[in-house]
Structure 1
Amino acid sequence: MRTLRTLALTGLTLSTPAWAGDFVDTRLSFAFADDNVFANAGETTPNSPTARFGGGLQNTQFYDNFNTRFSGFETLSNIVLYKRMPAFFEGLTTEAALTVLMLERPSGGIDLRDNSSYIRLHYRPAGWGENEGLSLTGFPVSADRFRLGYAYRISWGGSGIFTTRATAAGVPGARLQLTRDRWYAYAGAKTALVLNDLIKEQETLYGFMAGAGWDVLDTLRVEAGGGYFQKGIVPGLAALGVEAPVNSAGVSAQAVYHVGVPVGTSIDFRLYKNDPEMYQRFFSPEQYPGGLSYTASLEGSYLVQTLSDPDVFGRTVPQEAKAVALQARAKWNYWRFHALGLYRDLSFIQFEVPGLPPFNDFPKGTEVKPEMFFAVGADYHIPALHFTPGFIFGVQQPSSFRSPDPLFGGNNPPPGLTGTRTVVVRDVNVLSILPTTCGDDNAICRADPIISAKGTFRWDLSESVSAVGEIYYTYDRNRTTFRDDVFGVAQPSFEDPHALGFNTLLQARF
């Protein structure tokens, strides 16, 4: 079957059926899961129904999916119509790919969206290597896969950099890249149409990006990139007749040390094409050649953007944002080990919103705490059974803030939101509001560390179908929901910090 598919993809057969050539990275996931067996429907926030078929982000942990935007429970495919041809001019090659992400909703409906379709011109001078040359890539609809940063969780500069108000009109762009044997350099730009709330018309916003990478040694690569983006004006101030521009800029860099394995890239950064190399990269089984191989990377980003000053009317102030990620992976015979560390301050988490509340800096006197976590794990492959059990353990200090004044509920907040409170920010706009006081001594509530442990297994039934199982325990003292007090007023109250969940999946990829 592998030989037939490879022949079809390379065009050596008389026909090229759609199943082999036009659908790339297809994933079907059949799940039976429960994110918390200790809770029933209506007892927690977010709601936790009992065990059911299906799953989603609620069934994942803070260390999961670090290098992808998907939860792993989706059923999806990428429809790719790809063409590559030599040009009429020596050394020039043309290629184009229409890439559409087909994502199934739980209701059975299907969402179709552009997945960075592109047109590419590649020029390779005589005497240059196979992978060297000068290329110009145009993204007619969405340049989201053209991003800054290296780990997907802390990447930036995608379509959302212009805020969600730009995505309806699309965010096209272009990239010019020079690639040599041991280094590369690129420059590019994006544009977006966003409503100017002052003149009530759409205006063009611009973004510019540039970066480079260098293999200093066969085992060491260093990379860096930066960008500048316009984000329009502050809507709240525009309604009052004040024009306050919001602009952002930043830099990212990483160093990767690798022995025995190539430098990898998140699949959500790569451009889709339906050729044999893509098939092999997506679906070839994990290789265990024996001996020791490993890779370690350290990445950091420093960003800044202008936001409305909540303490001085009509003024904007710069807000800094920082993130650091450490990743390490090692393989020794049939063992695999991995470690992951992350630091993200709250400004970085909310950078694309932008701010919290949107378009606003934090008021003076706000206590802001960053997100930090560290996770380690290992698994062991049993080749005779095609079975791989493993475990992961992680500790997270979630991001939080405590403002001197209420930030939610408007000028006349409900009783449950009055006063100063600690707010835990788990991810972009995912908040848990803590009660005003905690414990017998009525101390101020603070965000507590979260502990998570997970046991896993993967059983490969064939080259395309696998059974996956996970059982995980989480201790999280920051879980809250709103319940009525003795006066009938809804107030934040703590939930049971213990949660035990499981995921069982039957997954097919082809």
Structure 2
Amino acid sequence: MKTLQTLALAGLTTLSAPAWAGDFVDTRLSFVFADDNVLAGAGETTPNSPNARFGAGNQNTQFYDNFNTRFSGFESLSNVVLYKRMPAFFEGLTTEAALTLLVLERPSGGVDILDNSSYVRLNYQPPGWGEKEGISLTGFPVSADRFRLGYAYRISWGGSSIFTNRATAAGVPGAKFQVTRDRWYAYVGGKTALVLNDLILEQETLYGVMAGAGWDILETLRVEAGGGYFQKGIVPGLANQSIEAGVNSAGVSGQVVYHVGVPVGTSVDFRLYKNDPEIYQRFFAPETYPGGLSYSLSLEGSYLTQTLQDPDKFGATKPQGAVALAFQGRAKLNRFRFSALALVRSLSFIQFDVPGFPPFQDFPTGTVLKPEVFGALGVDYNIERLHLTPGFIIGAQQPASFRSPVPLVGGSNPPPSLTGTRTVVVRDANQLSILPSTCGGSSACEAELIWSAKATFRWDLSETVAAVGEVYYTYDTNRTTFEDDVTGIAQPNFEKPHALGFNTLLQARF
């Protein structure tokens, strides 16, 4: 970490050539005053909900928010980009490189500086090829996390965590070879990671390969597909029993996009940062309203599989499948904007990078599994003379859940609170809510629908500064907290299902 901080500061202070104005790109400063639930005070909910305060985080977002980014939107952050592009000594060849560092401010006032997929690229343009066409080789010397499979960030995969979180400390570098033509592209690439082998107690190299292609069949229709294979090491639990069982994963993703009047977009977290003034791109340019109708419809799907420990057979492994589907629709009619979003994620997909639940294990036979399913609709309208955009979003979510077939046992004569099985709600990877054992008599509790509605406004004060406000209501009967019963044993109990919150931001983006 200190090496990256020193490198960033040295690069900014000693760079011999004049710095371009975009050396800090995708910068966001957020001054926030918020309360994720005004109906609850500190210590009354899980997770805890303090009273209104300056600052906010993921707890202040809803399930339909931030579908195409890994950030909550409340962070203060920037990307330091030192970029250089030069023609090579050989005709048709161009060299470029970018040192990109994510500068993320912590609530304590400290700063994290992380590599954000710095790269070195060679691009060859054969005679007669267009300006945007070429054959390129890109090397990621530290982190190839932005080189991913999938298209919407929420269900993308193949980033650095595909080798499990144990690999990220040592870095996950990689390389990508791509051919880009006017109507199509194709690529192949790979990554490596160092992960501790729990059998020999030494780090070993794990490999991953990725490939994909896209084709603009029509000016309005694009089809894309990609796939990959990754090693994840061995099962630690079986290694402790001197059994070597490899964990390998593979999968495919595909997308169909139909667009009229708008280009095919991608998550900002997939793009490689650059600040070449000739091709400078503003990531947060103000919204434009050219008039008329324009829209984009996309349907994406992924199927993944990986080998995990079989809990029903000693020393054995078995494949576990994972599925994700997503639909995104966006339309602009004069100064109206409409959006539709739908998502399906199997529980195994949510836990894919962990991998599994518990880690490195498949679910026992007979486990009742339910996927995450949600949908949301939104609309906003831009009042041009006031630079004001009010909007409204409504959505419903069936959270992912599982219920084990194995009853809990509390001795030879257990109390009723320790018998039977429980339903566990999984809101995201390793984010769990354990429901009480019974609801409405002797029947087991089940995960219920979550409803959410949000009113929003955005008031653009200038091209770089805006005031943003949100008021949202959520009805969630799956909220639980642990309280001691009459025997002194902590048991899950339902919280009040109503939550009313607000976020107010004064945000600068440049």
TM-score normalised to the size of structure 1? 0.94
Aligned counterpart, 1:141: 142
CA–CA distance in structure 2, aligned partners of residues 64 and 498 of structure 1 = 19
- Say which SS state the counterpart of residue 191 (structure 2) adopts: strand
Change beyond 3 A, Cα 1:279–1:408 = farther
Does 2:444 match 1:444?
yes
Distance 1:56 1:279, change over 3 A: farther
Q: Amino acid of the residue matched to residue 77 of structure 1?
A: S
User: Residue 303 in 1 paired to residue 300 in 2?
Assistant: no
**What does residue 423 of structure 2 align with?**
422
CA distance in 1, matches of 2:61, 2:509: 20
The 1-side partners of 2:333 and 2:498 are apart by: 35
Which residue number corresponds to residue 386 of structure 2?
A: 385
**Deviation larger for 55-64 or 485-494:** 485-494
SS in 2 for 1:165: helix
Q: Provide the C-alpha distance between the structure 2 equivalents of 1:504 and 1:183, rounded to a whole number of angstroms.
A: 43
1:456 aligns with 456
Q: 1:243 to 1:406 in 2, by over 3 A?
A: farther
- The answer to whether the Cα contact below 8 Å between 2:376 and 2:395 also exists between their aligned partners in 1 is yes
Residue aligning to 1:252: 253
Residue aligning to 1:329: 330
Is residue 2:81 matched to residue 1:96?
no
Distance 2:387 2:494 in 1: 43
- The Cα of 1:416 is off from its aligned counterpart by 7.0
| 2:430 is the alignment partner of 1:432 | no
Match of 1:267 in 2: 268
Secondary structure at the counterpart of residue 283 of structure 1: coil
| Separation of aligned partners in 2, 1:408 and 1:198 | 33
For the 8 Å contact 2:275–2:281, the answer to whether it is kept is: no
After TM superposition, the structure 1 = structure 2 runs for residues 26-37 of structure 1, keeping only pairs within 5 Å, are 26-37=27-38
In 1, Cα distance between the equivalents of 2:87 and 2:148?
28
Equivalent-residue separation in structure 2 for 1:417 and 1:133 (angstroms)? 64
- Match in the other structure for 2:227: 226
Q: State the shift of 1:486 in Å.
A: 1.6
Q: Which amino acid aligns with 2:457?
A: F
| Structure 2 counterpart SS, 1:504 | strand
Local SS of the residue matching 2:269: helix
In the alignment, what sits opposite 1:108? 109
Deviation, structure 1 residue 418: 5.9
2:332 and 2:277 map into 1 onto residues whose CA distance is 26
Report the equivalent of 1:495: 495
Change (3 A) 1:376 1:276: farther
User: Which string of whole-angstrom CA distances, capped at 9 and with x for unpartnered residues, describes residues 334-380 of structure 1?
Assistant: 00000000000000000000000000000011000000000000000
Task: Give the counterpart letter for 2:49 in structure 1.
Answer: S
Distance 1:286 1:407, change over 3 A: farther
SS in structure 2 opposite 1:65? Answer: coil
Give how far 1:285 is off. 1.2
Alignment of 1:39-438 (within 5 A): 39-276=40-277, 280-405=281-406, 419-438=420-439
Confirm or deny: 8 A CA contact 1:357 1:407 kept in the other structure: no
Structure 1: any 5+ residue segments left out of the alignment?
1-13
- Quote the offset at 1:275 in angstroms: 2.9
2:10 aligned residue:
none
How far apart, in 1, do the equivalents of 2:178 and 2:383 lie? 43
The question of whether the paired residues in 1 share the 8 Å contact of 2:408 and 2:419 is answered with: no
Query: Whole-Å Cα distance in 2 between the matches of residues 195 and 281 of structure 1?
Result: 41
Alpha-carbon separation, structure 1, partners of 2:280 and 2:113: 22
**Distance between the aligned counterparts of 2:102 and 2:263, measured in 1?**
28
The CA distance in 2 between the partners of 1:52 and 1:408, in whole Å, is 43
Counterpart secondary structure, 1:167: helix
Q: Give the structure 2 partner of residue 486 of structure 1.
A: 486
Structure 2 residue matching 1:267: 3-state secondary structure? coil
Residue 474 (structure 2) aligns with = 474
Distance 1:278 1:484, change over 3 A: farther
User: Conserved in 2, the CA contact under 8 Å of 1:398 and 1:426?
Assistant: yes
* C-alpha contact 1:416 1:490 (8 A) present in aligned 2: no
Question: What secondary structure sits across from 1:281 in the alignment?
Answer: coil
Match of 1:10 in 2: none
Are 2:306 and 2:319, in contact at CA under 8 Å, matched by a contact in 1?
Answer: yes
* Matched position secondary structure for 1:508: strand
Please tell me the residue identity of whatever aligns with 1:488.
G
SS at match of 1:438: coil
Q: What secondary structure, in the 3-state scheme, does the structure 1 residue paired with 2:349 have?
A: helix
**How has the CA–CA distance of structure 1 residues 271 and 314 changed in structure 2, closer, same or farther, with 3 Å as cutoff?**
same
Partner SS for 2:86: strand
Q: Cα deviations across residues 83-113 of structure 1 (Å, max 9, x unaligned)?
A: 0000000000000000110101110111111
The answer to whether the 8 A contact 2:85-2:276 is kept is: no
Displacement after TM superposition at 1:419 (Å): 3.9
The CA distance in 1 between the partners of 2:137 and 2:388, in whole Å, is 44
Cα shift at 1:408: 12
Deviation at 1:278, TM superposition (A): 6.8
Secondary structure of 1:161's match? helix
C-alpha contact (below 8 Å) 1:435/1:445 kept by paired residues: yes
Deviation of 1:199 (Å): 0.3
> Aligned pairs, how many?
492
- The TM-score normalised by the length of structure 2 is 0.94
Deviations, residues 274-312 of structure 1 (Å, cap 9, x unaligned):
134775431321110100000000000000000000010
Corresponding residue SS for 1:168: helix
Distance (whole Å) between structure 1 residues aligned to residue 22 and residue 17 of structure 2? 10
- Considering only aligned residues, what root-mean-square deviation do their CA atoms show, in Å? 1.8
CA deviations 1:368-414 (Å, max 9, x no partner) are 000000000000000100000000000000000000126999xxx99
CA contact (8 A) 1:416 1:492 kept: no
Amino acid across the alignment from 2:367: T
Query: Aligned equivalents of 2:118 and 2:408: distance in 1?
Result: 41
Which residue of structure 2 aligns with residue 11 of structure 1?
Answer: none
